[in-house]
Every structure is written in structure tokens, then in C-alpha cells.
Amino acid sequence: MRWSKLKQMAEGFLCEPLKGRVEYHWIIHRKSHDQPGTFRVTFDGTEIFRASDIPYNIASTTRGQELTKERAIDPLKWDSDWKKIWVSKELKQLHAAYDDAEIEVKQSGLYPAWEIITLLFDYTQMPFENALAHEHPVIRAIALLDRRLGKRRWASIHVETELEWKFYAIRNELNG
């Protein structure tokens, strides 16, 4: 799906007072290797959320290297038979370290833009109840600005992350 259509659909879910005030932006850095992107949410022109591929990749790689040292993972041993390398204990440990690093970086609030674009598409397709209870904090935060969130449901909202608090404060200002 084209970004312009996805943006239109996602912004179409915003509650009436936020239409035109909250905007979703996706920037592709075309002259950079692999064309990484940046996803931004702005409120009255001020950025309230950013997800970018480059800072995420730097942070997860750095943390992966730290975990590799902390866990004292041996370097891969060269073998002309690549199948032996592929099933080696060292490679499995390296994969586990880097997977754990990605999880830690996301828990700290840094996300890759490509993941958010996929989540935004999923958000436009899912029932609203699923969005409010979604495992990803970005989906839950975006759901707080949704027109389908009425006053009764608003009273029972439980905010868990700093990101959700930002979105909650914007919507609460409109309700209060």
C-alpha cells in the first residue's frame, strides 16, 4: 500500500478535534545505503514521537556487542563446510545475544521505522478493542487518539508507558 493512502487511512481514525493537528510522517533517506527511514508523529507541528532505523540499528548493534562480551561468547571458527558454522553453538549464542539486544533497545523506547509502518497498517485493519489491548505500546498510544474511543472507555484507560502518557495527555486536554 502506498504511504499516502496509509497516512490518509490512519489520520482518518483521529478524533475530530485532532484532525489536522496530529499528523503522521514517514521520511525515506533515499541517498543513504539501504534507504533507511524515519517515522514521526507531530501535534501542532511539534514532534511527539519518532522511530528511526539508523539510531535503532546503532543502539541494537552496540548492545549486541556488549552482550557478546558480557556472555563471553567465543568468536566463530572458520570451516570450509558452511553447514558446520550454521549449526555451531557459537552462532546460536550470537543470534540469541543480538535478539536480546533488540528486545532491550525496544523496551528503552527506540523503534525502527519499518516496524512502525507495518504496525500502522495493522492498526488500520484491526478491531478497535484489539488496538487498545495490543502488546505494542505504539499501537496502544495511537489508539488513544482514535475517534472510536468514547467517554466511557476513556474512563477505564490504563496507561503503562511514557509514550502512552504523551498521547494520553494530548487527548485528555481535549476531553477536559
pLDDT of residue 97: 93
Taking 80 as the threshold, does the pLDDT of residue 133 lie above it?
Answer: yes
For residues 157 and 121, what is the distance between their CA atoms, to the nearest angstrom? 23
Q: Between residues 175 and 98, which one has the greater pLDDT? A: 98
**What confidence tens digit (pLDDT) does each residue in 54-107 have?**
999 999 999 999 999 998 888 877 778 778 777 888 888 999 999 999 999 999
Q: What percent of the chain has pLDDT over 70?
A: 99
Q: What string of H, E and C letters represents the secondary structure of the chain?
A: CCHHHHHHHHHHCECHHHECCEEEEEEECCCCCCCCEEEEEEECCEEEEEEEHHHHHHHHHHHHHHHHHHCCCCCCCCCCCHHHHHCCHHHHHHHHHHHHHHHHHHHCCCCCHHHHHHHHHHHHHCCHHHHHCCCCHHHHHHHCCECCCCHHHHHCCCCCCHHHHHHHHHHHHHHC
Do residues 25 and 40 touch, judged by C-beta distance below 8 A?
yes
String of b and e for 8-27 (b: at least 16 CB within 10 Å)?
A: eebeebbbeebeeebbbebe
Per this entry, what is the length of the chain?
Answer: 176
Residue 42 confidence (pLDDT): 95
Higher-confidence residue of 56 and 171: namely 56
The pLDDT assigned to 121 comes to: 95
Give the residue among 172, 144, 82, 70 at the shortest CA–CA distance from 134: 144
Per-residue pLDDT at 57: 94
Report the range of poorest mean pLDDT among 41-55, 74-88, 102-116, 139-153.
Answer: 74-88
Model confidence, pTM = 0.84
pLDDT given at position 59: 96
Closest CA to 16 of 118, 156, 157, 146: 146
Average pLDDT, the chain: 90
Query: Tell me, what's the pLDDT at 155?
Result: 84
Amino acid at 76: L
Q: According to the model, what pLDDT value does residue 176 have?
A: 56
